Amino acid sequence: MFEELLLAQAREEVLPYDLLVAKTEGYSGSDIRLLCKEAAMQPLRRLMTVLEDRQEVLPEDDLPNVGLIMPQDIETALKNTRPSAHLHAHRYEKFNEDQGSQILQ
């Protein structure tokens, strides 16, 4: 999912997909999609900060490029995005205790 959602970057530095996989244990597919969107927004946020600091309005042809997703963008996204499934785990466990199979092996 990470390779699909965080498209290959045209540069030498490779995004740490193995680190992403390790750090997202317990994340649902929806959580991973949200994490990737958050990481992809970081370059845009950097650009907006630069543009907001300028006093003059730039012509559209002179606007800087958004930039690439950096490994630190992924770290920021990991800090801002938590797995949703663990929030409801106690409800699932309670349901299983109350309604689940009581067959002992």
Of residues 42, 86, 89, the one with CA closest to residue 67: 42
pTM, two decimal places? 0.70
The DSSP output letter for 12 is S
Query: Residue 105: is it exposed, middle or buried by C-beta count within 10 angstroms (0-12/13-18/19+)?
Result: exposed
pLDDT in tens, 31-88: 999 999 999 999 999 988 888 887 778 787 877 888 888 888 989 999 998 888 666 6
Q: Domains of the chain, with CATH numbers?
A: 2-85 (1.10.8.60)
Of residues 4, 7, 80, the one with CA closest to residue 45: 80
